[in-house]
Structure 1
Amino acid sequence: MNAPLLGPPKRHVPILVPAPREAIEGDYYGKRVVLDGPVWQLNDFVHPEYALDWASLGFTHRGLVEATADFFVERIQTSSASNVVNHFNALKRVKKLRSFQAWSAPLIAWNQPELNQTLFYEARDQAGFSRGELSHVQRWFGFCARRDGSGVNRTSASILESISIGGEPKGVAVLTLDPQGGPLDDAETTALLQALAAAYEKGTVPIAGLVAVWLCVLLGPNPRMLAMMRDEDFRRVDGRHPEISVPRIKGKDASGRTQFKVRKLDERFARMVEELIAANDAARTGSEWEKDGYAAALFPRREPNPHLAGRPQQAWAMHRTPQEISLLVARTVRSLDVRSPRTGQTLKASPRRFRYTFATRLLREGASPQVVGELLDHKDLQTIRAYLNLRGELVEKLDAAMAMELAPMAQAFLGTLVGSEGEAVRGGTRASRIFGSDPSTADGLGTCGSFSFCGLAAPRACYTCARFQPWLDGPHVRVLDELLRQREERRARGLDGRLITMTDNTILAVADVIHRCENAKLERATSAGEA
């Protein structure tokens, strides 16, 4: 019996790495980069894992490998580490293209054609490369074509350089007001802030997560900014006025923390930051952090980052990465279990969503693009255009019916409903009684359960306070009607959105109390009927 015919044995083509090169003495950040091994370690203090692993590139053509290495030497000197890594990751996808595989491993080794524009067309039309990735491939292809022996066809490079790729569409989530990834609306923001306040009051959420989310709400920072922050960035001017220095992330700043923007903080949030710093100090007690040269990160890791051990950036070893900061924020928001009035689902939010929210609210309230760009730390106003193109967002009319519908989802009321004054904490103390707008009447609204002076304006501030105990038969509907009347009056006068909506949080809290009172009365009536 004849043996089956076998094809020619497959040629084993080894994956190549670049020949050793002299170290770059000054990269984009002015730092030294060693280029004498299969892995080129880049300088990025927040992303110490950034490196070019040439074996993962999978190139087998010596000329192309060396030309590609020259390409990245130039990129390292002129671009940020993240930009270099993005280029490298785009090229790692190239090895999977059929046109590239056919070129790099031809059936007849000595008759290998040059790499042509078919590679780019396949990446664009079949492989689903993003516009950014196509731009990276286009730039690399043109560079290699100018290197003798790279195997890249120069005519094809000229064809590709004439193709306009364009940038990725910006601000889609903002322009469409995407309920999953776009800016939070007023009701969602209100519900989230109330849940944050309640979680802090009850101590149910770790303080690091609370502070991270509050910073996202107040400042709209990039997660890289939060990753760079340290305990020393918080201070009290003259021992009284709290402020925090936010590190800038633009420009050639590899060592980080050379430029800051100072932001003022309110007293309530300042106390939260001080609590976090105290917790960080307690965690460092007895540790080897200072001995090992670790800086006091505001949002520290549990263990030092092993990628930074023994490197010049070792001081950053206890800092979380931007991805870890984003995860911290997302997990904290999810743990609050806030229901979105728009979707009816648990609210999900990342630093990016908070950044969108911060910008859109500023523009809606009349801030100029220059002010928004300065607060977001954008070097130019190109990125702000997506926010400026938002369709006109009118402040919706909020009436009693809508308030009652939104109240259970907004979760604005944080206190405890009581049947009567006698059931309340401090109910026997007349000084703790909360009256309506006219304290001369005998109609009380509820009881303050706080044993200290708060200085807030009653009764409006009471409905959003965790210490407030509204009475079941209190005239809460009268309070709601008055707040709605004042809101409509401001809207009719044509005031800006911020002034119109400034009491919406209280309106939803009062409506929530009314809703709970109705349910409680219904339950009592049902129980009495059954008895």
Structure 2
Amino acid sequence: MNIAAAALQSPTEDTLDAWLNTPRLAKCGEFFTPSEPRWWPDSSVNISINWQAAIACVPSDWQRWLHAALAYRMVEVSQGTMVLATSVLSRAAQVGLDPLNEYHVIDLRERFNMGEFSALTGFMKFWQECESLEQRPSQALIDAYDTLPRKKCPRNDVILRLDPEQGPFTQVEQDALHQWAHEQFCHGNLDPEHYLYLRLLMIYGQRGVQLRMMVFNDFVKTERGYQVRIFWAKQKDNDAGWREKSETFSLDEDLYNLVQAYRSIVLARLEQEYPGRADWDKAIANVPLFRRKLENRAVGRELLPVIVDMPDHTSLEQEPKAKFHASASVIRSWLLQMERRPDFPISSRTHQPLKISKGHRFRHTLGTDLSNAGLDEWSIASALMHSDTYTVRKYRAVSAELMKLIDEKMSDHLAIVVRAFTGTIVKDRASAKNGDRVNRQIEDLAVCGADAACHLDAPFTCYGCSKFQPLLDADHIAALDRLERRRAQTIATDKTTGVLWDRSILACRKVIIDCYALRESGKLGGGDA
């Protein structure tokens, strides 16, 4: 029988070997041969597919059919998806777990995270539904997979529990990261490519795959101002695919100018390193902002080529090509390198360098910040490029919790840097201005130094006033507890208005810190006056 013709037919026990030895077309548009030790049809992905280690997870009489199922799956999904699926199967084999054994399904769910177990479940369902294969998993096994939750329990969600390493950044952390990136870039210590990636993450909060799709022509100047085009990811309809559907967002003029300056640098290097390989003045529009540099990682090279050396650079004159774009693993290595730098910002919550390489932290941060700013669910979903509001509801739920977290974990630090307290600490009433006036006494906490009564909500609004004179030995901790309870009551009905209590609470914390320091030193001085 002609092998090429056999490849178009469903394999049988007798023809399976010939079928596996016949080249097949992967989803990326390149051919691969299932019997080859490793599959690597998509050269833009840095990791090949090791099917041999994956099929070891099932009994020997099932291995050839699992091999064929993986080959069929390779035709329908990306190489990155296949890398994840085969990795899960390989690791299951290492610990003796069989994905075809119904009694091992719970152990598989416990061993792997949500994404890994979802990849395994998706593949097993595909295999069971693949009618071209004679041996397939039973429907009972697939039902066992489906009965287990793929999603994490809400209490374990990194957003809802405000995980300090994977959940949203606080504003102080964002400010520190922005300042660090700006200073390092201005002093030439941060590569423009790395700086741009970090800036885009912080501003737009999109998924890494969406930023990796970007080309220089996605940054445009129009009559309505500067704009950036960002493409959708994770679509399942006719718009699914690489750079198939996009949305346009506003762009800061300075960032646009930076991208154009970087474009000129890249163009000059393209003309220098690959002269005559393409009309670079035309192709630069489709050159990736974040480019693949080498076929394999370079060792000991100080300056990588500006783009990977492939024979078809001319294709960039017509349209962007995925194989020239940087992979997820390379981008993550950039972020990990930043985290390891000795001058990288430290988190006040963990006392460790900020984690910027963990999942969707910038996405979580943008969603939380937009919710804190009072935006409705549809506006948040639009900014995060969600097709519905279901996923963004957690950001609405977490807004008040973020305020509480700042109080519990960071308020002492914020109280010092925000300068919310501008009054003067006094030892007793005798040393305070208006100390002898009964109508200027603020409970047993302080003396008001104002010349006229203000009729504000004392003592709650007083801590942030420059005329406030807190007594050194007063119980300001009890006052702080009252302030926090008052704000909690406000947040219960109006989350936005609740923020107005923050400055008074920070000022009260600063008073507590300063009073403690003064008592320890035995001296009496001003607070922040």
* TM-score normalised according to structure 1 size: 0.59
**Residue 297 of structure 1 corresponds to which residue in structure 2?**
288
1:346 partner letter: P
- The 2-side partners of 1:18 and 1:45 are apart by 26
C-alpha contact 2:51 2:67 (8 A) present in aligned 1:
no
* Per-residue deviation, residues 174-213 of structure 1 (Å, max 9, x unmatched): 1111112210012212222233343344444332222211
- The answer on 1:38 being equivalent to 2:36 is yes
Q: Which secondary structure state, in structure 1, belongs to the residue aligned with residue 273 of structure 2?
A: coil
Tell me the CA shift for residue 243 of structure 1. 2.0
Identify if the C-alpha distance between structure 1 residues 497 and 47 changes in structure 2 by more than 3 Å, giving closer, same or farther.
Answer: farther
**Residue 264 of structure 1 corresponds to which residue in structure 2?**
250
Tell me the CA shift for residue 363 of structure 1. 1.8
C-alpha contact 2:57 2:89 (8 A) present in aligned 1:
no
- The answer on 1:337 being equivalent to 2:321 is no
Identify if the C-alpha distance between structure 1 residues 500 and 210 changes in structure 2 by more than 3 Å, giving closer, same or farther.
Answer: farther
Q: Percent identity?
A: 19
C-alpha contact 1:334 1:347 (8 A) present in aligned 2:
no
Q: Which secondary structure state, in structure 2, belongs to the residue aligned with residue 188 of structure 1?
A: helix
Identify if the C-alpha distance between structure 1 residues 178 and 19 changes in structure 2 by more than 3 Å, giving closer, same or farther.
Answer: same
**Residue 249 of structure 1 corresponds to which residue in structure 2?**
233
Identify if the C-alpha distance between structure 1 residues 72 and 346 changes in structure 2 by more than 3 Å, giving closer, same or farther.
Answer: closer
C-alpha contact 1:18 1:54 (8 A) present in aligned 2:
no
Tell me which of 173, 178, 183 is aligned to 2:168.
183
2:261 partner letter: E
Tell me the CA shift for residue 173 of structure 1. 1.3
* Per-residue deviation, residues 127-177 of structure 1 (Å, max 9, x unmatched): 9996436525753774699955x4x785xx525524511113177111111
2:334 partner letter: L
2:158 partner letter: A
Tell me the CA shift for residue 80 of structure 1. 4.1
Tell me which of 383, 386, 404 is aligned to 1:375.
383
Tell me which of 268, 272, 280 is aligned to 1:286.
272
- The 2-side partners of 1:278 and 1:290 are apart by 17
Q: How many residues align?
A: 399
**Residue 237 of structure 1 corresponds to which residue in structure 2?**
222
C-alpha contact 1:138 1:161 (8 A) present in aligned 2:
no
C-alpha contact 1:217 1:354 (8 A) present in aligned 2:
yes
- The 2-side partners of 1:161 and 1:263 are apart by 43
Tell me the CA shift for residue 119 of structure 1. 4.5
Q: Which secondary structure state, in structure 1, belongs to the residue aligned with residue 94 of structure 2?
A: coil
Tell me the CA shift for residue 230 of structure 1. 1.8
Tell me which of 348, 356, 367 is aligned to 1:349.
356
Identify if the C-alpha distance between structure 1 residues 394 and 94 changes in structure 2 by more than 3 Å, giving closer, same or farther.
Answer: closer
- The 1-side partners of 2:398 and 2:406 are apart by 22
1:47 partner letter: V
- The 2-side partners of 1:346 and 1:250 are apart by 31
C-alpha contact 2:231 2:247 (8 A) present in aligned 1:
yes
**Residue 20 of structure 1 corresponds to which residue in structure 2?**
20
- The 1-side partners of 2:160 and 2:406 are apart by 24
Equivalence map 1:317-332=2 (5 Å) = 317-332=323-338
**Residue 374 of structure 2 corresponds to which residue in structure 1?**
366
Identify if the C-alpha distance between structure 1 residues 81 and 381 changes in structure 2 by more than 3 Å, giving closer, same or farther.
Answer: farther
- The 2-side partners of 1:355 and 1:282 are apart by 34
Q: Which runs of 5+ in 2 are unaligned?
A: 1-15, 298-307, 420-463, 469-482, 515-529
Tell me the CA shift for residue 302 of structure 1. 4.4
- The 2-side partners of 1:273 and 1:67 are apart by 50
Tell me the CA shift for residue 362 of structure 1. 1.2
Tell me which of 406, 420, 424 is aligned to 2:414.
406
**Residue 209 of structure 2 corresponds to which residue in structure 1?**
224
Tell me the CA shift for residue 22 of structure 1. 5.6
C-alpha contact 1:242 1:266 (8 A) present in aligned 2:
yes
- The 2-side partners of 1:65 and 1:398 are apart by 53
* Per-residue deviation, residues 49-102 of structure 1 (Å, max 9, x unmatched): 45454466347967523422443354345444433333322322343354759x
Tell me the CA shift for residue 359 of structure 1. 1.0
- The 2-side partners of 1:398 and 1:97 are apart by 42
2:225 partner letter: H
C-alpha contact 2:44 2:292 (8 A) present in aligned 1:
no
**Residue 140 of structure 2 corresponds to which residue in structure 1?**
158
Q: Which secondary structure state, in structure 2, belongs to the residue aligned with residue 243 of structure 1?
A: strand
Identify if the C-alpha distance between structure 1 residues 186 and 98 changes in structure 2 by more than 3 Å, giving closer, same or farther.
Answer: closer
Tell me the CA shift for residue 367 of structure 1. 2.2
Identify if the C-alpha distance between structure 1 residues 394 and 219 changes in structure 2 by more than 3 Å, giving closer, same or farther.
Answer: closer
Tell me the CA shift for residue 232 of structure 1. 2.1
**Residue 526 of structure 1 corresponds to which residue in structure 2?**
none
Tell me which of 369, 381, 387 is aligned to 2:395.
387
- The 1-side partners of 2:85 and 2:406 are apart by 50
Higher relative contact order (CA 8 A, sep 6+): 1
Tell me the CA shift for residue 285 of structure 1. 3.6
Identify if the C-alpha distance between structure 1 residues 396 and 174 changes in structure 2 by more than 3 Å, giving closer, same or farther.
Answer: closer
Q: Which secondary structure state, in structure 2, belongs to the residue aligned with residue 85 of structure 1?
A: helix
* Per-residue deviation, residues 277-335 of structure 1 (Å, max 9, x unmatched): 23323432411177168952212354466999468999455432122223324434664
* TM-score normalised according to structure 2 size: 0.59
C-alpha contact 2:47 2:83 (8 A) present in aligned 1:
no
